[in-house]
Amino acid sequence: MITISPKDMAMAEKLSTMEILWNGLCQHSSFELSNWHESILNSREQQYVGGTQPPMDWEKVKQQIHNKIE
């Protein structure tokens, strides 16, 4: 088994690793949200449904995050 510390990873590698891990977590139907997280998601959904928060393109969001941390 190879162990790599996040300290030794470039930012792009860290983001890619997080995306892979997140996608893996999303595939488990038994994943339960904490109450606070569910509350935030419900609030954001209501904002979207109510038209106060337009949808954002995922690729643009990733680029914005990348720009902030670089």
With cut-offs at 50, 70 and 90, classify the pLDDT of residue 46.
very high
CA distance 26 to 24: 5
CA distance 65 to 25: 21
Could you state, in order of their start, the residue ranges of all structural domains in the chain? 46-70
Residues 5-27: pLDDT tens digits? 888 999 999 999 999 998 888 88
- Contact assessment for residue 70 and residue 15, using Cβ atoms and an 8 Å cutoff: no
The identity of residue 46, as a single letter, is Q
Residues 51-69: pLDDT tens digits? 998 888 999 999 999 999 8
Residues 27-37: pLDDT tens digits? 876 777 899 99
CA distance 21 to 16: 9
